[in-house]
Structure 1
Amino acid sequence: MEKVAGSGSSSRWSLSGFTALVTGGTRGIGYAVVEELAELGATVYTCSRNEAELNERLQEWAAKGLQVKGSVCDASSREQRIQLMENVSSAFDGKLNILLSINNVGTNIRKPTIDYTAEEYARLLGMNLESAFRLCQLAHPLLKASGNGSVVFISSVTGLVHVGSAGSIYGATKEAMNQLTRNLACEWAKDNIRVNGVAPWYIRMSLVEHVIFLIFLMHFSL
Protein backbone atom coordinates (compact mmCIF):
# COMPACT_ATOMS: atom_id res chain seq x y z
CA MET A 1 0.00 0.00 0.00
CA GLU A 2 1.42 3.37 -1.01
CA LYS A 3 0.54 6.81 0.27
CA VAL A 4 0.42 9.43 -2.44
CA ALA A 5 0.63 13.19 -2.10
CA GLY A 6 -2.04 15.58 -3.25
CA SER A 7 -5.47 16.82 -2.33
CA GLY A 8 -8.84 15.10 -1.84
CA SER A 9 -8.87 11.35 -2.36
CA SER A 10 -5.33 11.41 -3.82
CA SER A 11 -3.96 12.42 -0.40
CA ARG A 12 -5.10 9.14 1.13
CA TRP A 13 -3.62 5.67 0.88
CA SER A 14 -3.43 4.31 -2.64
CA LEU A 15 -4.48 0.74 -3.44
CA SER A 16 -3.72 1.04 -7.15
CA GLY A 17 -2.89 -2.40 -8.53
CA PHE A 18 -4.47 -4.23 -5.58
CA THR A 19 -7.36 -6.69 -5.88
CA ALA A 20 -10.09 -7.19 -3.29
CA LEU A 21 -13.03 -9.49 -2.64
CA VAL A 22 -15.77 -7.98 -0.49
CA THR A 23 -18.54 -10.44 0.27
CA GLY A 24 -21.97 -8.90 0.70
CA GLY A 25 -21.00 -5.58 -0.83
CA THR A 26 -24.33 -4.22 -2.04
CA ARG A 27 -25.61 -2.66 1.19
CA GLY A 28 -24.62 -1.45 4.64
CA ILE A 29 -21.01 -1.86 5.71
CA GLY A 30 -20.16 -3.85 2.59
CA TYR A 31 -21.39 -1.15 0.24
CA ALA A 32 -19.30 1.50 1.99
CA VAL A 33 -16.20 -0.72 1.96
CA VAL A 34 -16.52 -1.51 -1.76
CA GLU A 35 -16.69 2.19 -2.60
CA GLU A 36 -13.77 3.09 -0.31
CA LEU A 37 -11.48 0.40 -1.73
CA ALA A 38 -12.42 1.21 -5.32
CA GLU A 39 -11.95 4.96 -4.76
CA LEU A 40 -8.48 4.18 -3.42
CA GLY A 41 -7.67 2.46 -6.71
CA ALA A 42 -8.29 -1.23 -5.98
CA THR A 43 -10.09 -3.49 -8.41
CA VAL A 44 -12.95 -4.97 -6.37
CA TYR A 45 -15.05 -8.10 -6.74
CA THR A 46 -18.22 -8.42 -4.69
CA CYS A 47 -21.26 -10.65 -4.37
CA SER A 48 -24.84 -10.66 -3.16
CA ARG A 49 -27.71 -13.10 -2.90
CA ASN A 50 -29.94 -10.52 -4.61
CA GLU A 51 -29.18 -10.43 -8.35
CA ALA A 52 -31.28 -7.33 -9.08
CA GLU A 53 -29.64 -5.40 -6.27
CA LEU A 54 -26.17 -6.53 -7.38
CA ASN A 55 -26.74 -5.42 -10.97
CA GLU A 56 -28.05 -2.06 -9.79
CA ARG A 57 -24.96 -1.48 -7.67
CA LEU A 58 -22.58 -2.56 -10.43
CA GLN A 59 -24.18 -0.05 -12.80
CA GLU A 60 -23.96 2.64 -10.13
CA TRP A 61 -20.26 2.01 -9.54
CA ALA A 62 -19.50 1.86 -13.26
CA ALA A 63 -21.14 5.27 -13.67
CA LYS A 64 -18.76 6.60 -11.01
CA GLY A 65 -15.78 5.16 -12.86
CA LEU A 66 -15.03 2.58 -10.17
CA GLN A 67 -13.57 -0.83 -11.03
CA VAL A 68 -16.04 -3.25 -9.46
CA LYS A 69 -17.07 -6.68 -10.71
CA GLY A 70 -19.47 -9.12 -9.12
CA SER A 71 -21.63 -12.22 -9.20
CA VAL A 72 -24.53 -13.74 -7.30
CA CYS A 73 -23.53 -15.84 -4.30
CA ASP A 74 -25.11 -17.08 -1.09
CA ALA A 75 -22.08 -17.45 1.18
CA SER A 76 -23.90 -20.02 3.31
CA SER A 77 -23.91 -22.42 0.34
CA ARG A 78 -20.81 -24.60 -0.12
CA GLU A 79 -21.30 -24.90 -3.87
CA GLN A 80 -21.81 -21.17 -4.33
CA ARG A 81 -18.75 -20.35 -2.22
CA ILE A 82 -16.63 -22.56 -4.44
CA GLN A 83 -18.06 -20.97 -7.59
CA LEU A 84 -17.46 -17.49 -6.18
CA MET A 85 -13.80 -18.20 -5.57
CA GLU A 86 -13.43 -19.68 -9.05
CA ASN A 87 -14.91 -16.47 -10.45
CA VAL A 88 -12.52 -14.36 -8.37
CA SER A 89 -9.53 -16.44 -9.39
CA SER A 90 -10.46 -16.04 -13.05
CA ALA A 91 -11.05 -12.29 -12.70
CA PHE A 92 -7.75 -11.67 -10.89
CA ASP A 93 -5.44 -14.20 -12.57
CA GLY A 94 -5.22 -16.45 -9.52
CA LYS A 95 -4.13 -13.74 -7.09
CA LEU A 96 -6.02 -11.81 -4.40
CA ASN A 97 -4.67 -9.12 -2.09
CA ILE A 98 -7.65 -8.44 0.17
CA LEU A 99 -10.52 -10.53 1.50
CA LEU A 100 -13.17 -8.71 3.52
CA SER A 101 -15.86 -10.96 4.96
CA ILE A 102 -18.71 -8.47 5.17
CA ASN A 103 -21.81 -10.55 4.55
CA ASN A 104 -20.59 -12.75 7.38
CA VAL A 105 -21.92 -10.08 9.66
CA GLY A 106 -24.55 -12.64 8.79
CA THR A 107 -27.95 -12.78 10.39
CA ASN A 108 -29.51 -12.89 13.80
CA ILE A 109 -32.51 -14.30 15.62
CA ARG A 110 -33.23 -12.36 18.77
CA LYS A 111 -34.83 -14.35 21.58
CA PRO A 112 -34.04 -15.67 25.07
CA THR A 113 -31.36 -18.36 25.10
CA ILE A 114 -33.69 -21.15 26.27
CA ASP A 115 -36.03 -20.55 23.32
CA TYR A 116 -33.55 -21.26 20.49
CA THR A 117 -34.23 -24.38 18.45
CA ALA A 118 -31.54 -26.68 17.14
CA GLU A 119 -32.27 -25.44 13.62
CA GLU A 120 -31.87 -21.78 14.63
CA TYR A 121 -28.60 -22.56 16.41
CA ALA A 122 -27.23 -24.34 13.33
CA ARG A 123 -28.39 -21.55 11.03
CA LEU A 124 -26.66 -18.81 13.03
CA LEU A 125 -23.39 -20.72 13.31
CA GLY A 126 -23.47 -21.63 9.62
CA MET A 127 -24.15 -18.12 8.37
CA ASN A 128 -22.11 -16.09 10.86
CA LEU A 129 -19.05 -18.30 11.39
CA GLU A 130 -18.75 -21.28 9.06
CA SER A 131 -19.16 -19.26 5.86
CA ALA A 132 -16.33 -16.92 6.92
CA PHE A 133 -14.11 -19.86 7.84
CA ARG A 134 -14.75 -21.70 4.57
CA LEU A 135 -14.22 -18.59 2.45
CA CYS A 136 -10.83 -18.12 4.12
CA GLN A 137 -9.86 -21.68 3.29
CA LEU A 138 -10.83 -21.17 -0.35
CA ALA A 139 -9.15 -17.78 -0.57
CA HIS A 140 -5.86 -18.82 1.03
CA PRO A 141 -4.12 -19.98 -2.19
CA LEU A 142 -5.04 -16.73 -3.95
CA LEU A 143 -3.95 -14.58 -1.00
CA LYS A 144 -0.66 -16.45 -0.73
CA ALA A 145 -0.03 -16.17 -4.46
CA SER A 146 -0.33 -12.38 -4.28
CA GLY A 147 2.65 -12.20 -1.93
CA ASN A 148 0.85 -9.47 0.02
CA GLY A 149 -2.46 -10.76 1.36
CA SER A 150 -4.85 -9.33 3.92
CA VAL A 151 -8.00 -10.72 5.53
CA VAL A 152 -10.38 -8.47 7.44
CA PHE A 153 -13.28 -9.95 9.40
CA ILE A 154 -16.27 -7.88 10.43
CA SER A 155 -17.00 -9.11 13.92
CA SER A 156 -19.06 -7.24 16.51
CA VAL A 157 -18.77 -5.67 19.93
CA THR A 158 -21.12 -8.48 21.01
CA GLY A 159 -18.14 -10.82 20.73
CA LEU A 160 -16.37 -8.81 23.44
CA VAL A 161 -19.10 -7.75 25.88
CA HIS A 162 -22.66 -8.74 26.72
CA VAL A 163 -25.27 -6.96 24.60
CA GLY A 164 -28.73 -8.08 25.67
CA SER A 165 -30.48 -7.14 22.43
CA ALA A 166 -28.10 -9.28 20.34
CA GLY A 167 -28.69 -12.70 21.86
CA SER A 168 -26.28 -15.32 23.20
CA ILE A 169 -25.68 -17.32 20.01
CA TYR A 170 -24.90 -14.26 17.88
CA GLY A 171 -22.41 -13.11 20.52
CA ALA A 172 -20.83 -16.57 20.62
CA THR A 173 -20.33 -16.63 16.84
CA LYS A 174 -18.64 -13.22 16.97
CA GLU A 175 -16.26 -14.20 19.75
CA ALA A 176 -15.44 -17.35 17.78
CA MET A 177 -14.64 -15.11 14.80
CA ASN A 178 -12.37 -13.00 17.01
CA GLN A 179 -10.44 -16.10 18.03
CA LEU A 180 -10.30 -17.28 14.42
CA THR A 181 -8.74 -13.90 13.60
CA ARG A 182 -6.04 -14.38 16.25
CA ASN A 183 -5.24 -17.92 15.14
CA LEU A 184 -5.04 -17.14 11.42
CA ALA A 185 -2.94 -14.03 12.07
CA CYS A 186 -0.29 -16.27 13.63
CA GLU A 187 -0.67 -19.27 11.32
CA TRP A 188 -0.71 -17.36 8.01
CA ALA A 189 1.96 -14.77 8.81
CA LYS A 190 4.52 -17.07 7.20
CA ASP A 191 2.53 -16.77 3.94
CA ASN A 192 2.67 -12.95 4.07
CA ILE A 193 -1.06 -12.78 4.87
CA ARG A 194 -2.20 -10.34 7.54
CA VAL A 195 -5.44 -11.15 9.38
CA ASN A 196 -7.36 -8.51 11.32
CA GLY A 197 -10.86 -8.02 12.69
CA VAL A 198 -13.14 -5.04 13.21
CA ALA A 199 -15.73 -5.18 15.99
CA PRO A 200 -18.25 -2.36 15.44
CA TRP A 201 -21.17 -1.35 17.60
CA TYR A 202 -24.64 -1.06 16.03
CA ILE A 203 -24.43 0.29 12.47
CA ARG A 204 -27.60 1.62 10.86
CA MET A 205 -28.54 -0.96 8.21
CA SER A 206 -31.51 -3.17 7.38
CA LEU A 207 -30.44 -5.99 9.73
CA VAL A 208 -30.62 -3.85 12.88
CA GLU A 209 -32.54 -0.70 11.96
CA HIS A 210 -35.59 -1.75 13.98
CA VAL A 211 -33.39 -2.52 17.02
CA ILE A 212 -31.75 0.91 16.85
CA PHE A 213 -35.22 2.46 16.76
CA LEU A 214 -36.26 0.55 19.89
CA ILE A 215 -33.07 1.62 21.71
CA PHE A 216 -33.83 5.22 20.72
CA LEU A 217 -37.35 4.96 22.14
CA MET A 218 -36.13 3.38 25.37
CA HIS A 219 -33.50 6.09 25.83
CA PHE A 220 -35.93 8.96 25.50
CA SER A 221 -38.65 7.33 27.57
CA LEU A 222 -36.41 7.14 30.65
Structure 2
Amino acid sequence: MAVAVAAASGKWSLAGTTALVTGGTKGIGFAVVEELAGLGASVYTCARNEAELDGCLAQWKSKGFTVSGSVCDVSSPPQRQQLMDKVASHFHAKLHILVNNVGTSIVKASVDYTVEEFRWLMGTNLESAFHLSQLAHPLLKNSEGASLVFMSSVAGVASVSFGSVYGATKGAMNQLTKNLACEWAKDNIRVNSVAPWFTTTPLVESVNFHTHLEDKKFEESVIGRTPMRRVGKAEEVASLTAFLCMPASSYITGQTVCVDGGMSVHGFTFP
Protein backbone atom coordinates (compact mmCIF):
# COMPACT_ATOMS: atom_id res chain seq x y z
CA MET A 1 0.00 0.00 0.00
CA ALA A 2 2.80 2.44 0.93
CA VAL A 3 4.56 1.74 -2.37
CA ALA A 4 1.36 2.35 -4.32
CA VAL A 5 0.68 5.62 -2.49
CA ALA A 6 4.25 6.86 -3.06
CA ALA A 7 4.11 5.99 -6.74
CA ALA A 8 0.73 7.65 -7.15
CA SER A 9 1.96 10.83 -5.49
CA GLY A 10 4.86 11.12 -7.91
CA LYS A 11 7.46 11.36 -5.14
CA TRP A 12 9.86 9.19 -7.11
CA SER A 13 9.06 10.46 -10.59
CA LEU A 14 10.17 13.38 -12.75
CA ALA A 15 7.24 13.11 -15.15
CA GLY A 16 6.14 16.52 -16.38
CA THR A 17 9.37 18.27 -15.38
CA THR A 18 11.86 20.15 -17.57
CA ALA A 19 15.63 19.97 -17.17
CA LEU A 20 18.82 21.52 -18.52
CA VAL A 21 22.01 19.46 -18.18
CA THR A 22 25.23 21.06 -19.42
CA GLY A 23 27.88 18.86 -21.01
CA GLY A 24 25.50 15.96 -21.53
CA THR A 25 27.27 13.94 -24.22
CA LYS A 26 29.99 12.30 -22.11
CA GLY A 27 30.62 10.63 -18.78
CA ILE A 28 28.56 11.81 -15.84
CA GLY A 29 26.63 14.34 -17.93
CA PHE A 30 25.50 11.63 -20.35
CA ALA A 31 24.44 9.40 -17.45
CA VAL A 32 22.51 12.27 -15.84
CA VAL A 33 20.62 13.01 -19.07
CA GLU A 34 19.66 9.33 -19.36
CA GLU A 35 18.63 9.10 -15.70
CA LEU A 36 16.44 12.21 -15.79
CA ALA A 37 14.88 11.34 -19.13
CA GLY A 38 14.28 7.76 -18.00
CA LEU A 39 12.36 9.10 -15.01
CA GLY A 40 10.10 11.15 -17.24
CA ALA A 41 11.77 14.55 -17.52
CA SER A 42 11.98 16.50 -20.77
CA VAL A 43 15.70 17.26 -21.01
CA TYR A 44 17.71 19.89 -22.87
CA THR A 45 21.47 19.49 -23.06
CA CYS A 46 24.46 21.12 -24.71
CA ALA A 47 27.97 20.24 -25.84
CA ARG A 48 30.79 21.82 -27.82
CA ASN A 49 31.00 19.04 -30.41
CA GLU A 50 28.06 19.08 -32.82
CA ALA A 51 28.72 15.59 -34.22
CA GLU A 52 28.83 14.07 -30.72
CA LEU A 53 25.66 15.92 -29.75
CA ASP A 54 23.78 14.77 -32.84
CA GLY A 55 24.87 11.18 -32.20
CA CYS A 56 23.66 11.27 -28.61
CA LEU A 57 20.35 12.89 -29.56
CA ALA A 58 19.72 10.13 -32.10
CA GLN A 59 20.59 7.49 -29.49
CA TRP A 60 18.21 9.00 -26.92
CA LYS A 61 15.43 9.27 -29.49
CA SER A 62 15.79 5.56 -30.26
CA LYS A 63 15.29 4.86 -26.53
CA GLY A 64 12.11 6.89 -26.44
CA PHE A 65 13.59 9.69 -24.32
CA THR A 66 12.49 13.31 -24.76
CA VAL A 67 15.85 15.07 -25.18
CA SER A 68 16.77 18.14 -27.23
CA GLY A 69 20.00 20.09 -27.40
CA SER A 70 22.26 22.61 -29.06
CA VAL A 71 25.94 23.40 -29.43
CA CYS A 72 27.37 25.63 -26.70
CA ASP A 73 30.75 26.36 -25.16
CA VAL A 74 29.74 27.30 -21.62
CA SER A 75 33.08 29.02 -21.02
CA SER A 76 31.76 31.80 -23.32
CA PRO A 77 29.38 34.30 -21.63
CA PRO A 78 27.58 35.18 -24.91
CA GLN A 79 27.04 31.50 -25.68
CA ARG A 80 25.68 30.94 -22.17
CA GLN A 81 23.12 33.68 -22.78
CA GLN A 82 22.20 32.17 -26.15
CA LEU A 83 21.81 28.75 -24.52
CA MET A 84 19.46 30.05 -21.86
CA ASP A 85 17.43 31.95 -24.46
CA LYS A 86 16.96 28.67 -26.36
CA VAL A 87 16.01 26.82 -23.18
CA ALA A 88 13.52 29.54 -22.21
CA SER A 89 11.90 29.33 -25.63
CA HIS A 90 11.93 25.52 -25.70
CA PHE A 91 10.37 25.12 -22.25
CA HIS A 92 8.11 28.20 -22.36
CA ALA A 93 10.10 30.10 -19.71
CA LYS A 94 9.73 27.39 -17.07
CA LEU A 95 12.61 25.17 -15.88
CA HIS A 96 12.34 22.66 -13.02
CA ILE A 97 15.92 21.32 -13.02
CA LEU A 98 19.35 22.77 -13.79
CA VAL A 99 22.40 20.50 -13.56
CA ASN A 100 25.65 22.44 -13.93
CA ASN A 101 27.82 19.54 -15.01
CA VAL A 102 30.62 21.00 -17.16
CA GLY A 103 34.10 20.87 -15.65
CA THR A 104 37.74 20.28 -16.51
CA SER A 105 41.19 20.23 -14.92
CA ILE A 106 44.87 20.85 -15.48
CA VAL A 107 47.02 18.67 -13.26
CA LYS A 108 50.36 20.16 -12.25
CA ALA A 109 52.22 21.49 -9.23
CA SER A 110 50.69 24.65 -7.77
CA VAL A 111 53.82 26.70 -8.46
CA ASP A 112 53.62 25.83 -12.16
CA TYR A 113 50.16 27.22 -12.95
CA THR A 114 50.08 30.28 -15.18
CA VAL A 115 47.66 33.15 -14.61
CA GLU A 116 45.93 32.18 -17.85
CA GLU A 117 45.45 28.57 -16.68
CA PHE A 118 44.08 29.76 -13.33
CA ARG A 119 41.59 32.07 -15.03
CA TRP A 120 40.56 29.41 -17.54
CA LEU A 121 39.83 26.82 -14.85
CA MET A 122 37.95 29.33 -12.71
CA GLY A 123 35.99 30.49 -15.75
CA THR A 124 35.10 27.02 -17.02
CA ASN A 125 34.35 25.32 -13.70
CA LEU A 126 33.01 28.09 -11.47
CA GLU A 127 32.09 31.25 -13.36
CA SER A 128 30.14 29.37 -16.02
CA ALA A 129 28.08 27.50 -13.41
CA PHE A 130 27.42 30.70 -11.45
CA HIS A 131 26.41 32.69 -14.54
CA LEU A 132 24.15 29.92 -15.86
CA SER A 133 22.48 29.77 -12.45
CA GLN A 134 21.89 33.52 -12.57
CA LEU A 135 20.44 33.28 -16.08
CA ALA A 136 18.27 30.30 -15.13
CA HIS A 137 16.91 31.86 -11.93
CA PRO A 138 13.77 33.40 -13.50
CA LEU A 139 12.96 30.12 -15.26
CA LEU A 140 13.54 28.09 -12.09
CA LYS A 141 11.40 30.49 -10.08
CA ASN A 142 8.61 30.23 -12.65
CA SER A 143 8.40 26.46 -12.12
CA GLU A 144 7.30 27.03 -8.49
CA GLY A 145 9.43 24.15 -7.25
CA ALA A 146 12.90 23.77 -8.75
CA SER A 147 16.17 21.98 -8.10
CA LEU A 148 19.63 23.25 -9.00
CA VAL A 149 22.50 20.74 -8.81
CA PHE A 150 26.18 21.59 -9.11
CA MET A 151 28.53 18.79 -10.17
CA SER A 152 31.33 19.31 -7.68
CA SER A 153 34.08 16.87 -6.62
CA VAL A 154 35.62 15.26 -3.57
CA ALA A 155 38.58 17.50 -4.51
CA GLY A 156 36.49 20.37 -3.15
CA VAL A 157 36.06 18.58 0.19
CA ALA A 158 39.48 16.97 0.73
CA SER A 159 42.97 17.33 -0.71
CA VAL A 160 43.21 15.26 -3.89
CA SER A 161 46.08 15.29 -6.40
CA PHE A 162 43.83 16.61 -9.14
CA GLY A 163 45.36 20.08 -9.13
CA SER A 164 44.99 22.74 -6.43
CA VAL A 165 43.14 25.13 -8.73
CA TYR A 166 40.61 22.45 -9.67
CA GLY A 167 40.06 21.81 -5.95
CA ALA A 168 39.62 25.54 -5.36
CA THR A 169 36.92 25.78 -8.05
CA LYS A 170 35.01 22.91 -6.47
CA GLY A 171 35.45 24.18 -2.92
CA ALA A 172 34.06 27.55 -3.99
CA MET A 173 31.20 25.74 -5.73
CA ASN A 174 30.31 23.97 -2.48
CA GLN A 175 30.16 27.29 -0.65
CA LEU A 176 28.12 28.81 -3.48
CA THR A 177 25.68 25.94 -3.00
CA LYS A 178 25.12 26.95 0.63
CA ASN A 179 24.65 30.62 -0.17
CA LEU A 180 22.26 30.11 -3.08
CA ALA A 181 20.28 27.53 -1.11
CA CYS A 182 19.59 30.11 1.59
CA GLU A 183 19.10 33.06 -0.75
CA TRP A 184 16.79 31.28 -3.21
CA ALA A 185 14.75 29.22 -0.75
CA LYS A 186 12.12 31.97 -0.79
CA ASP A 187 11.75 31.31 -4.53
CA ASN A 188 11.15 27.59 -3.91
CA ILE A 189 14.49 26.67 -5.49
CA ARG A 190 16.58 24.00 -3.79
CA VAL A 191 20.34 23.98 -4.39
CA ASN A 192 22.71 21.06 -3.76
CA SER A 193 26.10 19.78 -4.89
CA VAL A 194 27.14 16.26 -5.85
CA ALA A 195 30.80 15.45 -5.21
CA PRO A 196 32.16 12.35 -6.98
CA TRP A 197 35.48 10.63 -6.31
CA PHE A 198 37.30 8.80 -9.11
CA THR A 199 34.67 7.74 -11.60
CA THR A 200 35.16 6.08 -14.96
CA THR A 201 34.66 9.13 -17.21
CA PRO A 202 36.53 10.63 -20.20
CA LEU A 203 37.84 13.46 -17.98
CA VAL A 204 39.51 11.10 -15.53
CA GLU A 205 40.92 9.01 -18.37
CA SER A 206 42.25 12.01 -20.33
CA VAL A 207 43.85 14.12 -17.59
CA ASN A 208 47.60 13.52 -17.31
CA PHE A 209 48.35 11.88 -13.96
CA HIS A 210 51.54 10.38 -15.44
CA THR A 211 49.31 7.30 -15.35
CA HIS A 212 45.57 6.61 -15.40
CA LEU A 213 42.95 4.11 -14.36
CA GLU A 214 44.13 1.57 -16.95
CA ASP A 215 47.46 1.45 -15.07
CA LYS A 216 47.01 -1.29 -12.46
CA LYS A 217 49.36 0.32 -9.92
CA PHE A 218 47.50 3.63 -10.04
CA GLU A 219 44.11 1.91 -9.90
CA GLU A 220 45.24 -0.12 -6.88
CA SER A 221 46.30 3.07 -5.09
CA VAL A 222 42.88 4.67 -5.73
CA ILE A 223 41.05 1.53 -4.63
CA GLY A 224 43.29 1.21 -1.57
CA ARG A 225 42.18 4.67 -0.42
CA THR A 226 38.52 3.81 -1.01
CA PRO A 227 36.77 1.70 1.66
CA MET A 228 34.42 0.16 -0.93
CA ARG A 229 37.50 -0.98 -2.88
CA ARG A 230 36.49 0.15 -6.36
CA VAL A 231 36.12 3.25 -8.52
CA GLY A 232 32.69 4.72 -9.12
CA LYS A 233 30.42 4.53 -12.12
CA ALA A 234 28.83 7.51 -13.83
CA GLU A 235 25.40 5.95 -13.32
CA GLU A 236 25.94 5.96 -9.55
CA VAL A 237 26.53 9.71 -9.62
CA ALA A 238 23.52 10.21 -11.90
CA SER A 239 21.16 8.35 -9.56
CA LEU A 240 21.94 10.70 -6.66
CA THR A 241 21.60 13.70 -8.96
CA ALA A 242 18.16 12.52 -10.03
CA PHE A 243 17.09 11.95 -6.42
CA LEU A 244 18.02 15.54 -5.54
CA CYS A 245 15.69 16.69 -8.32
CA MET A 246 12.72 14.60 -7.17
CA PRO A 247 9.84 15.61 -4.90
CA ALA A 248 11.13 12.88 -2.57
CA SER A 249 14.08 15.15 -1.66
CA SER A 250 11.93 18.25 -1.14
CA TYR A 251 13.46 19.16 2.26
CA ILE A 252 17.10 18.76 1.21
CA THR A 253 18.97 21.92 0.25
CA GLY A 254 22.39 23.50 0.74
CA GLN A 255 24.14 20.13 0.93
CA THR A 256 27.27 18.72 -0.69
CA VAL A 257 26.86 14.96 -0.96
CA CYS A 258 29.93 12.84 -1.72
CA VAL A 259 29.60 9.85 -4.04
CA ASP A 260 32.96 8.37 -3.20
CA GLY A 261 32.74 4.86 -1.77
CA GLY A 262 33.68 6.29 1.64
CA MET A 263 36.93 7.95 0.54
CA SER A 264 36.23 11.37 2.08
CA VAL A 265 35.59 9.90 5.55
CA HIS A 266 38.41 7.37 5.46
CA GLY A 267 40.94 8.08 8.19
CA PHE A 268 43.76 5.81 9.33
CA THR A 269 43.29 2.03 9.26
CA PHE A 270 45.43 -0.10 11.57
CA PRO A 271 47.21 -2.95 9.77
C-alpha distance in structure 2 between counterparts of 1:114 and 1:121, whole Å? 11
Whether the aligned pair in 2 keeps the contact of 1:3 and 1:14 (CA below 8 Å) is no
2:66: which partner in 1? Answer: 67
Counterpart amino acid of residue 4 in structure 1: A
Q: 1:140 aligns with which of 124, 133, 137?
A: 137
Unaligned runs of 5+ in 2: 225-271
| 3-state SS, counterpart of residue 128 of structure 1 | helix
Residue in structure 2 matched with residue 196 of structure 1 by the alignment: 192
The partner residue of 2:150 within 148, 153, 158 is 153
Residue 177 of structure 1 and its aligned partner are, at CA, apart by 0.1
Question: Residues of 2 paired with 1:93 and 1:50: CA distance?
Answer: 26
CA contact (8 A) 2:24 2:46 kept: yes
2:38 maps to a residue whose letter is: E
For each residue in 1:145-175, what CA deviation from the matched residue of structure 2 results, as whole angstroms up to 9, or x when unmatched?
11011100010000011112x0111101100
Query: What does residue 38 of structure 1 align with?
Result: 37
Against the structure 1 CA distance between its residues 87 and 3, is the aligned structure 2 distance closer, same or farther, given a 3 Å change threshold? farther
Q: Which of structures 1 and 2 has the larger relative contact order (alpha carbons within 8 angstroms, sep 6+)?
A: 2
Tell me, what secondary structure is at the counterpart of 1:88?
Answer: helix
8 Å CA contact 1:61–1:67 kept in 2: the answer is: yes
1:29 to partner: Cα distance = 0.4
Once the two structures are aligned, what percentage of the paired residues are identical?
61
1:121–1:192 Cα change, 3 Å: same
Query: 2:133 matched to 1:163?
Result: no
Residue 127 of structure 2 aligns with which residue? Answer: 130
Q: Secondary structure at 2:175's aligned position in 1? A: helix
TM-score for the superposition, normalised by structure 1: 0.91
Superposition TM-score, scaled by structure 2 size: 0.75
The 8 Å contact of residues 150 and 193 in structure 2, kept in 1 or not, is answered as yes
Displacement of 1:44: 0.3
Cα deviation digits, residues 12-34 of structure 1 (max 9, x gap): 82111100000000110010110
Residues paired across the two proteins, number: 213
Shift of 1:215: 6.6
For 2:158 and 2:137, the matched residues in 1 are separated by: 30
Q: Deviations over 1:107-126 (max 9, x none)?
A: 11111000111111111100
Give the Å deviation of 1:220.
5.1
CA change 1:15–1:3 in 2 (3 A) is farther
What code does the residue aligned with 2:73 have? D
Q: Residue in 2 aligned with 1:78?
A: 77
Structure 1 position 214, deviation (Å): 6.8
Structure-2 separation of matches of 1:182 and 1:216? 38
> Which residue does 1:185 correspond to in 2?
181
**2:263 alignment partner in structure 1:** none
In the TM superposition, residue 218 of structure 1 has moved relative to its aligned partner by 3.7
1:48 aligns with 2:51: no
Per-residue deviation, 1:87 = 0.5
Does the 8 Å contact 1:98/1:143 carry over to 2? yes
| Residue 219 (structure 1) shift | 5.8
Shift of 1:198: 0.5
Distance apart, 1:3 and its partner CA: 4.4
Counterpart AA for 1:140: H
Match of 1:176 in 2: 172
Distance 2:96 2:134 in 1: 15
Q: Following TM superposition, where does structure 1 have runs of at least 4 consecutive aligned residues deviating by more than 6 angstroms?
A: none
* 3-state SS, counterpart of residue 125 of structure 1: helix
Matched, 1:20 2:19: yes
